[in-house]
Amino acid sequence: MNYLRPERLDALARAYALGTLAGGARRRFETLMRDSAAVRLSAQIWQQRLSSLEAVTPPVAPPLGNWPGIQRRLFPDEVGQTAPGRAGASRGEGSRWWHRLVPGGARGAVAVSGWAVAGALAGALGCVAVLRSSPTWMENVQADQATPASYVGLLHDAKGQPTLVASSRRHGTLMTVRLLQPLDLPAGQVARLWALPDHGAPILLAAALPAKGTTQATLADTSERLFKSVRRLAVTIEPAATTPTAPLTPFVWEGDCVKVW
């Protein structure tokens, strides 16, 4: 099976980031990540997508009235309430219900597990509330599934944290650069993005990146020609008054550049 086919790799990376890829499939995917920069990059891109969605989704607390209902359902003896017409039956049925969850049926274990499950139920209600308040959340995820044939780079800082994503269509001449972390630019300094080919001098891609947000840079040639032998991208911070013909300072961010198709 060719795991590097774009549609298959994208689906696996999405499932891995969501946590739905389990068992042997997850272990095989992690092996692929160790061996392939393209697989690592696909997984990291999906993790960033989901992190971005989480950041812009407003937290929604479940209605306060839900909690007493959960308590009455799970702990009728403790709250002193039972469903109408079921007096005398709730103790036995509740006990049998919890005994199915906790082997041995110990009273203390049932109580502890009950509160844990109650907390999980409250969290589930919160998730439902968030999804109802943001019905386009999963639609946005699904709409982002198809990745066109592109060159994509993901850069990291010295601590290994993702800092920048750069992408360009295979036959395009425009590169989109998105900063995942803000740049600390001293006065009179600019950040420059470079392509590092296997052979030859570094190629300037963007002469002045913004401190944060997203920007676009016009390339000197099509991505197919420009990135054919490029495996790495890097960022320098240099004096703004200098002529950007070659890197003048050490790289502050570096990362892989791969083709995704």
Instruction: Give me the DSSP letters along 128-159.
Output: HHHHHH-TTHHHHHHHT----SEEEEEEE-TT
* pLDDT per residue of the chain (261 residues) written in tens, 0 to 9: 666 666 778 788 888 888 888 888 888 888 888 888 778 888 887 777 666 555 545 566 777 777 777 778 777 766 554 444 444 444 444 444 445 544 554 444 444 455 555 555 555 555 445 444 444 444 444 444 455 788 888 898 988 888 999 989 989 999 999 998 899 899 999 999 999 998 889 999 999 999 999 999 999 999 999 998 998 999 999 999 998 889 999 999 999 888 877
Each domain of the chain, given as residue ranges in start order, spans 6-57+135-143, 66-133, 150-260
Say what the pLDDT of residue 202 is: 94
Query: Alpha carbon of 201 to those of 154, 191, 197, 245: distances in Å?
Result: 20, 18, 7, 10
pLDDT for position 197: 93
- Taking the C-alpha atoms of residue 175 and residue 166, their distance in angstroms, rounded to an integer, is 7
Q: How many residues does the chain have?
A: 261
Q: Would you tell me the crossing angle of helices 6-18 and 23-35 to the nearest 10 degrees? A: 120
pLDDT at residue 106, rounded to an integer? 46
Phi, psi of 214 (to 5 degrees): -125, 145
Enter the tokens of residue 58. Answer: 């407003």
Q: What is the pLDDT of residue 20?
A: 84
**Structural element, H or E, at residue 209:** strand 203-209
Q: What pLDDT score was predicted for residue 60?
A: 66
Instruction: Give the closest residue to 72 by CA, choosing from 59, 81, 62.
Output: 81
Name the nearest CA neighbour of 202 among 259, 151, 245: 245
Cβ atoms 177, 166 nearer than 8 A: yes
